[in-house]
Amino acid sequence: MTAAVLCIGTELTRGELVNTNAAYLCSGLTDLGFEVLEDVVVDDDRGRIIATLERLARTTSLIVCTGGLGPTTDDLTTDAVATALGVALKRDEGSVEAIRRRLEKYGRELTESNAKQADFPDGADILQNPIGTAPGFSVRIGKALAFFMPGVPREMKKMFEEQVEPRVRHLAPNTSCQVRLRTFGLPESAVGERLAGVEAAHAQVTIGYRAHFPEIEVKVLARAPTPGAARDACERATADVRARLGDVLYGDSDDTFAGVVGRSLRNKGLTLAIAESCTGGLVGHMLTREPGASDYLLVDAVTYANTAKTRLLGVDEDVIRGHGAVSGEVAAAMAEGVRRVSDADLALALTGVAGPSGGSPEKPVGTVYLAVTSAAGTLVKHRQFAGDRHQIQTLAAYAGLLLLKEIAQR
Amino acid sequence: MTAAVLCIGTELTRGELVNTNAAYLCSGLTDLGFEVLEDVVVDDDRGRIIATLERLARTTSLIVCTGGLGPTTDDLTTDAVATALGVALKRDEGSVEAIRRRLEKYGRELTESNAKQADFPDGADILQNPIGTAPGFSVRIGKALAFFMPGVPREMKKMFEEQVEPRVRHLAPNTSCQVRLRTFGLPESAVGERLAGVEAAHAQVTIGYRAHFPEIEVKVLARAPTPGAARDACERATADVRARLGDVLYGDSDDTFAGVVGRSLRNKGLTLAIAESCTGGLVGHMLTREPGASDYLLVDAVTYANTAKTRLLGVDEDVIRGHGAVSGEVAAAMAEGVRRVSDADLALALTGVAGPSGGSPEKPVGTVYLAVTSAAGTLVKHRQFAGDRHQIQTLAAYAGLLLLKEIAQR
């Protein structure tokens, strides 16, 4: 069973953004058991959209398309599909209402350009968009089944998973089963070396890797003629992969590193206080992105200025003068200070040079000191990271979370 | 002058990696003045490679292709090109020697599969690869000029810049000039309505939109026969666009909203303190992602727990009990408290319900109170946001930054 992916948008043909939608859809369709023959990007040109759809409809059985469903004049997809099919556009009042309600929630009124998003080629099967204003739709073009979704990745992914997958799953000849595992702590090549031989030991299984800095995701994909066989093969291989990865494996596809750390703290009944300098609030942001952080997080004092370290956390001015704000001594004093003012069980502090300026021969850009303190005492670590400002901040935040994880899982 | 990009590889059609080569080449060709009509990815299938090349040669003047030049049996590009042209493969002894020397550096011997990489369609113009074993080549297919480069991004980029660009630059008839503008405060449809008519008023100009939640980027692209004419047209249209956007326009392509806010504070010589609750450090993180935040940011106290609000910021327990932690009164007390402990000129506080739980009929999920305080007094705002946890946090953080921007730019 063959498939093609079509992404529409001049922002893509001009190279203004990397087409992550195509990778997501190619991967999703492959996982479902389709053979993706090509993925195409065309600009916002009505004639090219029509010609490409007609061409793909001749060569593949399934076309999955994104983009060009927005409210502006450069959104031409729906119109192009109607032209290709030789049908009129028909406004769907249910969709108009859904868009109106959605806009109301944001205190906005429905305009004609919004209402245009409720126009569909006559006879189309409409796909609701619960998290955006552009609904999707499905039509048959020649012998191919074609789906059209918005280009916004978040909306597209939800629509694909909830509405496209259930409609196409039965068309795929093989069933597949995939498990995604999240790792932190080793580069991709080292993760690959740990997993060398897994594919040879499990015939129906393919191992894939994807880097999401600074993490490496491992995908275990099994394909078999029946769902049960695919699941069994996937489970056996996943057990093997888990054993080989050991403690660099931190969770499954829906986990985040901060979420796993937060869960460990909550399970242990530990409260946490944080003092950040070079990371500027990133550790707190990562933990509080996950719901439920209020169960354990008391405070995150981002003491960017030295005066703030002294006034809020009681860090001795002489310690800052003597050792510098970026030092193990100051990290320890920050951790102890924020634990004292918050009465938390556990406190983490980070201070470093995120760059691009501020480095010195003794403390180059990327130098980071971390401290964790509890009733048991204070532990200080020195790390040297490489990368740009954002990478250094991210690596420092991960290092801090890793320290907390080790303590909470002890 | 039209162009197309073709990337070859089953790893791409299976979605195992994101196609950054396409974005790089689309962007590079656009900058050179070509109009990229499509970019296509096909799997490692000889028939599909040939059919796609023949199709693109009929519709575009320039084809830039990557991938399938490696030593393994699934590398079929060179062979497919020779078949499409009806010519034989011919081994280039100079390239064999270059590959042999390259392998020697790594202590490896030349094998027949490596030597295969020195086979080219008879008559091809060879492109050296100084940093890899796969040379590229160029041929004419019908009326189109076609270039073939390795898929390894580093090797491809070097070859494109040093050998492809100089060979195609003179072919681009039009030069283009693009300006990207960043807006915050209006939805895409409303931005589009403000700019309705710009394209009609400026013949050589196209307006594009891109949503980066919660921002909308506006792109003004002008194409003209000479660089000067393109620049002039772009400048005229951009002035028009700027005037129509007014104060929702906050900066140019390299700006970030937090960076612009930070710059305004720095220019005014104002120091800032922040107290966050529902946003969990996001405001501090956004400001400190940009270098130079230490010029104005003294502290960001993420007082997640009520005890932290009281202990660190001196917020009266009775105020929290009487009005609730999510209230204008507490927002004001947090702002005033963090300003007092830090001695900052200006302080911002945010408290709200980010969800998914914690809402009530009076204060549903999305309720956010913001306060800004300075020597001039305290201003409190109530906002109601819609969306998931992360969107509410993001919208609240932007609302806080917007308040600071208004004050700093007064």
**Residues of chain A with pLDDT > 70: what percent?**
100
> Terminus-to-terminus CA distance in chain A, angstroms?
50
- Whether the pLDDT of residue B404 is over 90: the answer is yes
pLDDT at residue A174 tops 80: no
Tell me, what amino acid is at A409? Answer: Q
Mean pLDDT of B36-62: 96
Please write the tens of the pLDDT for every residue from A226-257: 889 999 999 999 999 999 999 999 999 889 99
- Greatest alpha-carbon pair distance for chain B in Å reads 88
Domain B257-408: assigned CATH number: 3.90.950.20
More confident residue, B54 or A73: B54
Interchain CB contact of B135 with A (< 8 Å): no
pLDDT at site B150: 94
- Report whether B316 contacts A309 (CB < 8 A): no
Tell me what percent of the residues of chain B surpass a pLDDT of 90.
81
Residues of B in contact with A15 (CB under 8 A): 22-30, 36
**CB contact residues (below 8 A), chain B span 39-68, against chain A:** 39-43, 45, 48, 52, 55
Nearest of A197, A24, A308, A211 to residue B338 by alpha carbon: A308
Domain parsing of chain A, residue ranges? 2-171, 175-252, 257-408
pLDDT, one tens digit per residue, over B294-315 is 999 999 999 999 999 999 999 9
Residue B307 near residue B301 (C-beta atoms within 8 A): no
Of A255-264, B97-106, B154-163, B339-348, give the lowest mean pLDDT range: B97-106
Tell which wins on pLDDT, B404 or B211. Answer: B404
Residues 161-220 of B with CB under 8 A from A: 187-190, 192-193, 196, 206-211, 219
C-alpha span between A299 and A242 (Å, rounded): 35
User: For the whole model, what pTM was predicted?
Assistant: 0.79
Whether residue B209 has pLDDT greater than 90? no
Mean per-residue pLDDT over chain A, rounded: 94
Q: Are A94 and A34 in contact (CB under 8 A)?
A: no
SS (H, E, C) A50-114: HHHHHHHHHHCCEEEEECCCCCCCCCCHHHHHHHHHCCCEEECHHHHHHHHHHHHHCCCCCCHHH
Per-residue pLDDT band at A116 (split at 50, 70, 90) = very high
Q: What is the ipTM of this complex?
A: 0.78
Cross-chain CB nearest to B210 (options A11, A52, A276):
A11
* Top-confidence residue, A80 or A172: A80
Note the CATH number of domain A175-252.
3.30.70.2860
Task: Check pLDDT > 80 for residue A173.
Answer: no
B91, pLDDT greater than 90: yes
pLDDT digits (tens, 9 = 90+) for B137-152: 999 999 999 999 999 8
pLDDT in tens, B219-263: 899 988 888 999 999 999 999 999 999 999 999 988 999 999 999
Residue B65: name the closest of B11, B113, B120, B9 by CA.
B9
Percent of chain B with pLDDT over 70: 100
Candidate CATH numbers 3.40.50.300, 1.10.340.30, 3.30.420.40, 3.40.980.10; the one for domain A2-171: 3.40.980.10
Residues in A closer than 8 angstroms to B219, CB to CB, are 11, 16
pLDDT over 80 (residue A189): no
Contact B301 A298 (CB under 8 A): no
pLDDT greater than 80 at residue A210: no
What residues in B contact A281, CB-CB < 8 Å? 276, 281-285, 288, 300, 302
Which residues on chain B are in Cβ contact (under 8 Å) with A356?
291
Do the chains contact at A308 and B288, CB–CB below 8 Å? no
Which chain B residues touch A55 with a CB distance below 8 Å? 55
pLDDT at residue number A390: 93
pLDDT at B106 over 80: no
- Dig out the tokens for B215 from the structure: 């921002």
Q: How high is the pLDDT of residue A209?
A: 76
CA distance A31 to B345: 56
Let me know: does B350 contact B283? Beta carbons within 8 Å.
Answer: yes
Q: Between these two residues, A33 and A334, which has the higher pLDDT value?
A: A334
Residue B102 confidence (pLDDT): 87
**In Å, how far are A335, A388, B380, B409 from B264, measured between CA atoms?**
32, 24, 21, 7
Picking from A70, A274, A311, the nearest residue to B342 by CB comes out as A311
Residue A33 pLDDT:
84
The helix (run of H) or strand (run of E) holding residue B350 is strand B346-352
Q: Rounded to an integer, what distance in angstroms lies between the CA atom of residue A143 and that of residue A145?
A: 7
Minimal-distance CA residue of chain B relative to A101: B386
Local confidence band at A118 (pLDDT 50, 70, 90 cut-offs): very high
Q: How far is CA A129 from CA A151, A159, A405, B107, B307, in A?
A: 12, 7, 38, 57, 41
B213-231 per-position pLDDT tens digit? 899 999 899 988 888 999 9
